[in-house]
Structure 1
Amino acid sequence: MQKETYFGVDVSALSYDEILADLKNRMQQDLKSTIIAVNPEKVIKAEQSNELRELINSATYQIPDGIGVLLASKLKGGRITSRVTGVDMMERLLGFAAKEGYRVFLYGAKEEVVSKARENIIAKYPGITIAGYENGYVQDPDQVINKINEAKADILFVAMGSPKQELWIREHMNKMGVKVFQGVGGSFDVFAGHVKRAPLFFRKLGLEWLYRLLKEPKRLKRQLALPRFLLKVLFSR
């Protein structure tokens, strides 16, 4: 599989369509797959944390969620040609599940968020099977795992925030019959209509981070990871 490495962190160079095609093939082979979003902030943290770096690199697909990763690939003559965002990857997987007849389970967030997200997803994708859901306040893993297995889910979205959601997936994935696991952070809030994404204009230009910063100035400290990361890339060999 095509991957690039930045400061010890792997990033997949596949597009949405390439990931879905590869996933379909892996599911037909009864293989489990995990998806984790990678952005400059996460790369910088992973450089200082062996556990986080190993967690990212052990995933099947490390999607280039941040504009900084795309720019770094361009600076280094890499093969990443577009962002693959976590929320859009979830959107593509929902369409894929509806088309192919795969069963979906949603785990995480508040009850009113995950239940509304389920309702909106069913409305948007007629024929999709949301086999079950559970809010993130049910923390007994055995209870959640049993519910997921009883639902015979093929695809599981976990919304706990990163890296907590990925650690939960890694710890429990082999106890479930699920084939595709994705940690989706705050994506349930988007599907529930509680959080609005940046206008398409900002997203197409890769400026979603700027829109979010303008809406939430307190994010400035986190966003400083972007120039730090690009400077490190620029001056690295």
Structure 2
Amino acid sequence: MIFAIGQDKIHVTGETRAEFLARFGQMLRNGVGVAVATINLDHLVKLHEDPHFRAAYGAHDIIVADGNPIVWLSRLAGRPVALMPGSDLIEPVCAMAADLGIAIAFIGSTQPVLDKAADSLQSRHPNLRVAAKLAPPMGFDPESAQAAALLQQAQASGAQLCLLALGAPKQERLAMVGRRVCPQMGFLSIGAGLDFLAGAQMRAPYLVRLFAMEWLWRMLGNPRRLAGRYLKCAIILPRHALNALRLRRAGGKT
């Protein structure tokens, strides 16, 4: 699936989750650097508004669909993609890392959250090695010298994969720096996934997610912060639906 943002194009992988995990694991095992972004409708809004965010996305090697609207648009375009929210990828990616003997690092959130998330994951995956748990300070600039030093600290710990829990656009911008500073490492942006694991934030119940209403659950929990964000998402949806229809009419052509 392709999303046109001005002159730029965002390519979302058409792989199944199993295919993506197999490729991701193979790249990590071979020491091939890779950055994975998880796109949703809010990211599309930011991509239109922020050229720095577009540059960060352009540095990513794989982009997967984090939200149902991305999946629906892909189906409308006749180029379906699988739903792979970052929060849902943590468990299978950590299971894979444990099986392959790949050490991981957490970057983001707070130290108590990182400690609890590590304990939770290691209780289910005893062979998982969390080599670094790094919580940047408030006001952290993901493109600063401090950020580069943090990434080098993660690499020095022996970690081959960083789970970035900084939220967009910081986590994607940090992954862009990581691809330059630590070119053989893997990076996966997971948003609030570690907070959910640690119990610091409550994720929408399974049935709410099943019926694609997680956005409403979140907005009702924090309407002042999220109502404006979701309004922007609603505004850009028709534009991308029209683009999806154009892709469908184009058939195999880009």
1:147 aligns with 2:145: no
Please tell me whether the aligned partners of residues 109 and 137 of structure 1 are also in contact (alpha carbons under 8 angstroms).
no
Please tell me whether the aligned partners of residues 59 and 176 of structure 2 are also in contact (alpha carbons under 8 angstroms).
no
CA distance in 2, matches of 1:157, 1:178: 15
CA distance in 2, matches of 1:150, 1:86: 25
Deviation at 1:142, TM superposition (A): 5.5
Q: Which residue of 1 aligns with 2:31?
A: 30
CA distance in 1, matches of 2:16, 2:230: 25
User: What's the secondary structure of 2:79's corresponding residue?
Assistant: coil
1:191 aligns with 2:189: no
Deviation at 1:172, TM superposition (A): 3.4
CA distance in 1, matches of 2:90, 2:221: 24
CA distance in 2, matches of 1:119, 1:36: 25
1:213 aligns with 2:219: yes
Same amino acid, percent of matched pairs: 21
- TM-score, structure 2 as length reference: 0.83
CA distance in 2, matches of 1:165, 1:56: 10
Q: Which residue of 2 aligns with 1:163?
A: 169
1:99 aligns with 2:99: yes
- TM-score, structure 1 as length reference: 0.88
1:133 aligns with 2:133: yes
**What runs of 5+ residues in structure 1 fail to find an aligned partner?**
none
CA distance in 1, matches of 2:56, 2:183: 21
Q: Which residue of 2 aligns with 1:57?
A: 58
Deviation at 1:146, TM superposition (A): 4.1
CA distance in 1, matches of 2:123, 2:54: 38
CA distance in 2, matches of 1:121, 1:178: 24
CA distance in 1, matches of 2:97, 2:136: 23
Q: Which residue of 2 aligns with 1:85?
A: 85
Please tell me whether the aligned partners of residues 71 and 80 of structure 2 are also in contact (alpha carbons under 8 angstroms).
no
Deviation at 1:152, TM superposition (A): 0.9
Deviation at 1:155, TM superposition (A): 1.0
Deviation at 1:178, TM superposition (A): 5.1
CA distance in 2, matches of 1:229, 1:70: 15
Q: Cα 1:178–1:105, aligned 2, differ >3 Å: closer, same or farther?
A: farther
Paired residues, number: 234
Q: Which protein, 1 or 2, shows the higher relative CO under an 8 Å CA cutoff with sep ≥ 6?
A: 2
Q: Cα 1:73–1:142, aligned 2, differ >3 Å: closer, same or farther?
A: closer
- How big is the alpha-carbon RMSD for the aligned residues of Structure 1 and Structure 2? 2.2
Q: Which residue of 2 aligns with 1:4?
A: 2
Q: Cα 1:172–1:56, aligned 2, differ >3 Å: closer, same or farther?
A: closer
CA distance in 1, matches of 2:95, 2:239: 37
CA distance in 1, matches of 2:184, 2:154: 8
Q: Cα 1:141–1:32, aligned 2, differ >3 Å: closer, same or farther?
A: same
**What runs of 5+ residues in structure 2 fail to find an aligned partner?**
141-145, 247-254
User: What's the secondary structure of 2:12's corresponding residue?
Assistant: strand
Q: Which residue of 2 aligns with 1:17?
A: 18
Farther off after superposition, 223-232 or 186-195: 223-232
CA distance in 2, matches of 1:57, 1:174: 13
Please tell me whether the aligned partners of residues 56 and 175 of structure 2 are also in contact (alpha carbons under 8 angstroms).
no
Q: Which residue of 1 aligns with 2:249?
A: none
Please tell me whether the aligned partners of residues 16 and 92 of structure 1 are also in contact (alpha carbons under 8 angstroms).
no
Q: Cα 1:71–1:233, aligned 2, differ >3 Å: closer, same or farther?
A: same
Farther off after superposition, 130-139 or 188-197: 130-139
Please tell me whether the aligned partners of residues 103 and 161 of structure 2 are also in contact (alpha carbons under 8 angstroms).
yes
User: What's the secondary structure of 1:47's corresponding residue?
Assistant: helix
